[in-house]
């Protein structure tokens, strides 16, 4: 369905006090979308601020789709996507893009894998050629040797970001405590060293055929484009990408239920102890999700936020405080993280955090406190519209919205979720979704 | 939870675009990569400059995509670790600006700014202090007076200073935990020594932090913040000069305070023979390696040859260091190099985190590349690096933050007004001979410092056997003294 929407204008009109009239005079952001016969969904968005285009692909597969014994495979596969394809042998991808002044990257999460190529607008065809070639003909250039090479790189990524990083193993421990064995979110996206060692060339073939078919992906081309020419270019380069054979459905898994407090203490080579409290919470865009985003700002967004003010500002027993609703497809995770100052007891910190959670569960925040949080969220929507490419740019967000809601321009509806809330809604969500008696508590303490 | 990265970041004409499925068409020619047409030119936005007397200069860049505006006030005499002050003072003063200003307390400042959906940040870098205000344009009039109070009338309350000092001391402790952080602190200390301003991080030493008083902060502020005529405020966003300039002029007022010039800084040490330094991190899964020496100041006449040289050596994904250590050998998740250019000569280094059992092999490969960079660069590799470098500039002019930051550079380093307009041509003019000359002059493998943070027990014998130079073991705690 073709739709016209000015993103900036639509959001501006929603933000309290913003001069909607002047914003509406700049209706310069719009999108159109279509499907290719092979099933690839395509979204085009025009923005001529700088002469760059971005080619952003989401494959609707992530670590949650992995098989037991092959954890880390979706991410390893992401690395293999840069190792050459039939018509662009190993080395061409990065060499050709850099020679055209482009940059590229990719990332893997539980639910999705995203890729972007940002190039000056004269190199759009080059970007589409490379992106389509690996979507269609990756396996023609793949060999067991290629898999070995990236296996070593990924193992070093694990060493650097987990094993050798302070507190690096905490997220892996928490996922294991939070979910029953076998739950798709129970293992880390980086995978275990053993499973990375076990990944084989045959796994690569199987994974590509299952998950990297065009019908399981969506493509956003955005920036300094002429939409008519861009549509023709996409059709040129992606129409002959072979369609897949089997439909890939969304993951289904029973909602995990925490019935108690699960506690664990691990040691790490760190100076300051740290407390992690984690709950299983409503999925992205489900009722409660937006409320918990607002709660995060009430608890840990700025000097006046409740946990920051008490622990870091007034009592000065904590070095930092964070609160985050990590929104995902099956369910989300809500996490509060506090790093203690030297010689502070984690028990004291935990009891103050609990006191503050109880308070927000019992009485709604004041109008000003609540508005302060919502105003911060509203203006963050402006910031998210400034960059088109890269991670988190407009193109990446359109793919994210399309995957989650079917509407690539869900910006307006997304913001409307927050504007519809009342202080009482936040209190209700805190009561319902952050029970003190059902959560995971991990403490990382300095090893002696 | 968070994703894993692969590597180290008009209304549409209605009716014109159908949603119909694509027509059957001939497959494209994939036998060779499609050629790109001529690269687009960056339209560098015009800067409207106003120069009121005894007040900050105002540089305005209108940008109308999103109804937001970014203001960056730049003070080029209040950054770094200036001579005459203990290290860490400039950074502490900048950090304390919003902990009480005018009639507002720290909490009141934060409440006002957050309620407006704005962001106010205060910072000191090596070459400037800066205060940034990012705000929906409809809220600018309410947020601007807070920004000006923070710059001109900070109150430096004693209890806030005490809190900030504790926070900074804990940050120094935390830095010791992270091998990547540790090497970032250790390398400059080793290369510049304790008495040079670049030899200590801008956080300062433990002793310096403990000693700072409210009076120190006030004196620094009076000497280096009040002479506002030496500062510039850059405005990028949904405004026009005619409306925003009077607003800023009124908010800032005027001042005739003058700067006495400060004291001359310590001279940088001269390179000696190559030495190896090892910081022990028992049980570390990786060794963090940083190899280099003092590089060049931003004003170097060799700016463009050095930028091209670094792009080839370690400044992009296909650069030699990343290709060798990551792609060919798989020793590292990534490897690179940098010339940090400051008002004084900043450091040059090549760096990577490598798996512990490949530390010695990785060191060999580092020196292979640091030696090979002195051979003539093949034409296609040079061309690729030049195009990559030149066209990356497009990315620096997209958002209001980008534009404010890019325009600020012109002021901080006194660059010519057409610097960005001529940037592409000047990159294109760099020759293979220029690159070789820069490599010969600025990268001398025989005099570099090799700094390794890793598991001493596992790597020391192998590193010694390489005979790179005399090996010194350094205690992590000493780096912060």
Give yes or no: residues B95 and B234 share one domain.
yes
Mean pLDDT of B20-32: 73
Full residue range of the structural domain in which residue B338 is found:
275-480
Domain boundary residue among B220, B237, B252?
Answer: B252
Do A231 and A44 touch, CB atoms closer than 8 A?
yes
Give yes or no: residues B128 and B165 share one domain.
yes
The pLDDT confidence band at residue B267, using thresholds 50, 70 and 90, is confident
CB contact under 8 A, A95 and B166: no
With respect to residue B17, please indicate whether it lies within any of the assigned structural domains: no
Using one digit for the tens of pLDDT, what is the confidence trace for B416-430? 999 999 999 999 999
Work out the minimum CA distance from A437 to partner chain B, whole angstroms: 23
Q: Indicate if the pLDDT at residue B196 is higher than 60.
A: yes
Work out the minimum CA distance from A91 to partner chain B, whole angstroms: 8
Q: Indicate if the pLDDT at residue B164 is higher than 80.
A: yes
With respect to residue B20, please indicate whether it lies within any of the assigned structural domains: no
- A123 → closest Cβ in B14, B36, B65: B36
Alpha-carbon dihedral angle through residues B449, B451, B456, B458, given to the nearest 10 degrees: -90
Residues 37-76 of B with CB under 8 A from A: 37-43, 63-68
Question: How many other CB atoms are there within 10 angstroms of residue A101's CB atom?
Answer: 27
* Nearest C-alpha in B relative to A242: B27
CB contact under 8 A, B384 and A98: yes
CB contact under 8 A, A341 and B166: yes
Per DSSP, A85 falls in state: B
Domains of chain A: 7-238 (3.30.830.10), 261-364+422-446 (3.30.830.10)
Count of domains for chain B: 2
Give yes or no: residues B187 and B78 share one domain.
yes
Q: Does B170 touch chain A (CB under 8 A)?
A: yes
Question: How many other CB atoms are there within 10 angstroms of residue A401's CB atom?
Answer: 19
CB contact under 8 A, B391 and A102: yes
Give yes or no: residues B200 and B160 share one domain.
yes
Give yes or no: residues B219 and B331 share one domain.
no
Q: Does A130 touch chain B (CB under 8 A)?
A: yes
Work out the minimum CA distance from A101 to partner chain B, whole angstroms: 4
- From the list B340, B163, B431, the residue with the least C-alpha distance to A341 is B163
Q: What is the pLDDT of residue B21?
A: 44
Q: Does B103 touch chain A (CB under 8 A)?
A: no
Q: What is the pLDDT of residue B266?
A: 83
CB contact under 8 A, B114 and A129: no
CB contact under 8 A, B118 and A379: yes
The pLDDT confidence band at residue B18, using thresholds 50, 70 and 90, is very low
Rounded CA-CA distance A271/A20 in Å is 51
Give yes or no: residues B72 and B128 share one domain.
yes
Cβ-Cβ contacts under 8 Å for A136 (sequence gap 6 or more) = A85, A86, A240, A241, A242
With respect to residue B31, please indicate whether it lies within any of the assigned structural domains: no
Q: Does B112 touch chain A (CB under 8 A)?
A: no
CB contact under 8 A, A159 and B14: no
Residues 352-381 of A with CB under 8 A from B: 368, 371-372, 375-376, 378-379
CB contact under 8 A, B18 and A224: no
Q: What is the pLDDT of residue B136?
A: 97
CB contact under 8 A, B107 and A309: yes
* Nearest C-alpha in B relative to A39: B21
Rounded CA-CA distance B335/A272 in Å is 29
Distance of CA A24 to the CA centre of its chain: 30
CB contact under 8 A, A390 and B9: yes
Give yes or no: residues B287 and B232 share one domain.
no
Q: What is the pLDDT of residue A13?
A: 43
Residues 177-216 of B with CB under 8 A from A: 177-180
With respect to residue B423, please indicate whether it lies within any of the assigned structural domains: yes
Give yes or no: residues B290 and B219 share one domain.
no
With respect to residue B258, please indicate whether it lies within any of the assigned structural domains: no
Angle of helix B106-115 relative to helix A367-383, nearest 10 degrees, comes to: 60
Q: What is the pLDDT of residue B314?
A: 97
Do B275 and B324 touch, CB atoms closer than 8 A?
no
Q: What is the pLDDT of residue B264?
A: 83
Q: Does A13 touch chain B (CB under 8 A)?
A: no
Domain boundary residue among B252, B283, B305?
Answer: B252
- From the list B291, B86, B95, the residue with the least C-alpha distance to B201 is B86
Rounded CA-CA distance A84/A88 in Å is 6
Q: Chain A residues with CB inside 8 Å of B106's CB? A: 303
CB contact under 8 A, B171 and A79: no
With respect to residue B470, please indicate whether it lies within any of the assigned structural domains: yes
Domain boundary residue among B220, B252, B284?
Answer: B252
Q: Does A131 touch chain B (CB under 8 A)?
A: no
CATH code, domain carrying B211: 3.30.830.10
Give yes or no: residues B108 and B199 share one domain.
yes
* Nearest C-alpha in A relative to B137: A18
Q: Does A159 touch chain B (CB under 8 A)?
A: yes
Using one digit for the tens of pLDDT, what is the confidence trace for B304-347? 999 999 999 999 999 999 999 999 999 999 999 999 999 999 99
Rounded CA-CA distance A56/A33 in Å is 14
Work out the minimum CA distance from A367 to partner chain B, whole angstroms: 11
CB contact under 8 A, A82 and B116: no
Mean pLDDT of B165-188: 94
Do B200 and B194 touch, CB atoms closer than 8 A?
yes
Q: Does A245 touch chain B (CB under 8 A)?
A: no
CB contact under 8 A, B33 and A88: yes
Residues 150-169 of B with CB under 8 A from A: 163, 166-167
Give yes or no: residues B141 and B207 share one domain.
yes
Do A113 and B5 touch, CB atoms closer than 8 A?
no
Q: Alpha helices, DSSP H only, in A34-143?
A: 73-80, 92-99, 124-137
Q: Indicate if the pLDDT at residue B6 is higher than 70.
A: no
Q: Does A247 touch chain B (CB under 8 A)?
A: no
Work out the minimum CA distance from B215 to partner chain A, whole angstroms: 22
Mean pLDDT of B193-199: 94
CB contact under 8 A, A227 and B17: yes
CB contact under 8 A, A101 and B136: no
CB contact under 8 A, B64 and A26: yes
Give yes or no: residues B246 and B280 share one domain.
no
With respect to residue B263, please indicate whether it lies within any of the assigned structural domains: no
- From the list B258, B265, B250, the residue with the least C-alpha distance to B231 is B258
- B22 → closest Cβ in A18, A26, A239: A239
- From the list B25, B392, B387, B35, the residue with the least C-alpha distance to A125 is B35
Q: What is the pLDDT of residue A12?
A: 43
What tens-digit pLDDT sequence spans chain A (448 residues)? 233 333 444 444 444 333 322 332 232 348 999 999 999 999 999 999 999 999 999 999 999 999 989 999 999 999 999 999 999 999 999 999 999 999 999 999 999 999 999 999 999 999 999 999 999 999 999 999 999 989 999 999 999 899 989 999 999 999 999 999 999 999 999 999 999 999 999 999 999 999 999 999 999 999 999 999 999 999 999 999 999 988 888 888 999 989 999 999 999 999 999 999 999 999 999 999 999 999 999 999 999 999 999 999 999 999 999 999 999 999 999 999 999 998 899 999 999 999 999 999 999 999 999 999 999 999 999 999 999 999 999 999 999 999 999 999 999 999 999 999 999 999 999 999 999 999 999 999 999 7
Q: Indicate if the pLDDT at residue B16 is higher than 60.
A: no
Inter-chain contacts counted by CB atoms under 8 A, chains A and B: 306
CB contact under 8 A, A105 and B37: no
Q: Chain A residues with CB inside 8 Å of B399's CB? A: 386-387
Distance of CA A372 to the CA centre of its chain: 25
CB contact under 8 A, A34 and B21: yes
Share of chain B above pLDDT 90, in %: 87
Q: What is the DSSP pairing of strand A41-46 with strand A217-223?
A: parallel
Q: pTM value? A: 0.93
CB contact under 8 A, A149 and B330: yes
Residue whose tokens read 């301003």:
B197
Q: What is the pLDDT of residue B4?
A: 56
* Nearest C-alpha in A relative to B322: A153
Q: What is the pLDDT of residue B10?
A: 29
Using one digit for the tens of pLDDT, what is the confidence trace for A30-61? 899 999 999 999 999 999 999 999 999 999 99
Q: Does B318 touch chain A (CB under 8 A)?
A: yes
Mutate to test the interface with B, among A1, A8, A50, A331 (most CBs of B within 10 A): A50
- B7 → closest Cβ in A1, A91, A105: A105
With respect to residue B74, please indicate whether it lies within any of the assigned structural domains: yes
Rounded CA-CA distance A7/A407 in Å is 13
Residues 435-474 of B with CB under 8 A from A: none
CB contact under 8 A, A30 and B65: no
Give yes or no: residues B195 and B233 share one domain.
yes
């Amino acid at each position: 369905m073709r739709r016209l929407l000015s993103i900036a204008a639509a959001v501006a009109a929603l933000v309290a006090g913003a001069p909607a009239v002047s914003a509406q005079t700049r209706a310069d952001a719009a999108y159109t979308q279509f499907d290719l016969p092979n099933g690839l969904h395509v979204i085009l968005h025009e923005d001529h601020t700088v002469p760059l285009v971005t080619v952003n692909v989401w494959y609707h597969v992530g670590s949650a789709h992995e098989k037991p014994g092959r954890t880390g495979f979706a991410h390893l596969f992401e690395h293999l996507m840069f190792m050459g394809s039939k018509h662009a042998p190993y080395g061409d991808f990065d060499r050709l893009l850099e020679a055209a002044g482009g940059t590229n990257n990719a990332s893997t999460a539980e639910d999705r894998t995203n890729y972007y190529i940002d190039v000056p607008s004269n190199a759009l065809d080059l970007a589409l050629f490379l992106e389509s070639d690996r979507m269609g003909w990756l396996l023609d250039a793949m060999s067991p040797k290629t898999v070995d090479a990236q296996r070593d790189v990924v193992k070093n990524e694990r060493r650097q970001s987990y094993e050798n990083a302070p507190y690096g193993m905490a997220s892996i421990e928490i996922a294991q405590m939070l979910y029953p064995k076998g739950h798709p979110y129970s293992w880390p996206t980086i995978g275990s060293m053993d499973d990375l060692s076990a990944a084989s060339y045959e796994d690569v073939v199987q994974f590509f055929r299952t998950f990297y078919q065009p019908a399981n992906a969506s493509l956003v081309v955005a920036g300094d484009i002429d939409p008519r020419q861009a549509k023709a270019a996409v059709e040129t380069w992606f129409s002959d990408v072979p369609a897949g054979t089997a439909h890939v459905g969304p993951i289904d898994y029973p909602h995990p239920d925490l019935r108690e407090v699960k506690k664990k203490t691990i040691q790490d080579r760190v100076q300051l102890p740290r407390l992690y409290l984690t709950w299983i919470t409503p999925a992205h865009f489900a009722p409660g999700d937006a409320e918990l985003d607002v709660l995060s700002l009430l608890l840990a967004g700025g000097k006046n936020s409740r946990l920051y003010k008490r622990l870091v500002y007034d009592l000065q027993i904590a070095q930092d405080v964070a609160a985050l609703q990590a929104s995902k497809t099956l369910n989300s995770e809500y996490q509060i993280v506090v790093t203690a100052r030297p010689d502070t007891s984690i028990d004291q910190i935990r009891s103050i955090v609990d006191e503050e959670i109880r308070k927000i569960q019992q009485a709604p925040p004041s109008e000003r406190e609540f508005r302060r949080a919502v105003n911060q969220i509203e203006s963050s929507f402006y910031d998210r519209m400034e960059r088109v490419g890269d991670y988190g740019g407009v193109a990446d967000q359109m793919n994210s919205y399309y995957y989650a809601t079917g509407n690539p321009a869900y910006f307006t509806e997304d913001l409307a979720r927050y504007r519809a809330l009342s202080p009482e809604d936040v209190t209700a969500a805190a009561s319902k979704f952050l029970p003190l008696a059902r959560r995971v508590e991990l403490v990382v303490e300095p090893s002696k | 939870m968070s994703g894993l990265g692969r590597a180290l970041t008009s209304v549409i004409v209605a009716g014109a675009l159908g949603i119909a499925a694509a027509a059957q068409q001939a497959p494209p020619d994939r036998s060779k990569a499609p050629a790109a047409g001529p690269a687009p030119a960056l339209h560098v936005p015009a800067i409207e400059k106003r120069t009121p007397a005894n007040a900050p200069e105002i540089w305005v860049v209108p940008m109308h995509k999103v109804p937001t505006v970014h203001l960056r006030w730049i003070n080029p005499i209040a950054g770094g670790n200036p001579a005459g002050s203990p290290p860490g003072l400039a950074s502490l003063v900048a950090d304390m600006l919003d902990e009480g200003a005018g009639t507002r307390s720290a909490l009141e400042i934060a409440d006002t700014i957050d309620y407006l959906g704005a962001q106010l940040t205060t910072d000191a870098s090596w070459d400037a202090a800066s205060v940034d205000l990012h705000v929906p344009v409809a809220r600018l009039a309410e947020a601007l007076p807070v920004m000006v109070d923070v710059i001109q009338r900070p109150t430096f309350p004693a209890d806030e200073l005490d809190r900030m000092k504790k926070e900074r001391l804990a940050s120094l402790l935390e830095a010791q935990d992270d091998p990547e952080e540790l090497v970032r602190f250790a390398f400059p200390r080793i290369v510049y020594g304790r008495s040079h301003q670049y030899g200590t991080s801008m956080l300062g030493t433990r002793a310096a932090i403990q000693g700072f008083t409210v009076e120190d902060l006030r004196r620094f502020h009076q000497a280096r913040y009040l002479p506002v005529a030496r500062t510039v405020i850059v405005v990028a966003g949904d405004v026009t000069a005619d409306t925003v300039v009077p607003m800023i002029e009124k908010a800032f007022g005027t001042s005739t305070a003058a700067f006495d010039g400060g004291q001359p800084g310590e001279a940088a040490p001269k390179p000696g023979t190559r030495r190896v330094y090892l910081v022990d991190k028992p049980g570390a899964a990786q060794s963090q390696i940083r190899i280099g020496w003092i590089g060049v100041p931003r004003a170097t006449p060799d700016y463009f040859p050095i930028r091209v040289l670094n792009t080839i050596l370690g400044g992009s994904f296909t650069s030699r260091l990343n290709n060798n250590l990551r792609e060919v050998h798989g020793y590292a998740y990534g490897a690179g190099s940098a010339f940090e250019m400051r008002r004084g000569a900043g450091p040059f280094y090549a760096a990577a985190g490598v798996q512990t059992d490949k530390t010695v092999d990785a060191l060999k490969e580092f020196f292979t590349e640091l030696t090979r960079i002195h051979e003539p660069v093949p034409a296609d590799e040079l061309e690729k690096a030049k195009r990559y470098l030149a066209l990356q500039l497009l990315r620096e002019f997209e958002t209001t933050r980008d534009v404010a930051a890019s325009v600020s550079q012109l002021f901080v380093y006194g660059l010519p007004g057409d610097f960005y307009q001529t940037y592409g041509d000047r990159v294109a003019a760099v020759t293979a001979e220029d690159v070789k000359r820069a490599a010969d002059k600025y990268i001398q493998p025989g005099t570099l410092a090799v700094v390794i943070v890793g598991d001493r027990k596992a790597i020391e014998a192998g590193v010694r056997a390489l005979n790179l130079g005399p090996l010194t073991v350094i205690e992590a705690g000493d780096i912060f003294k």
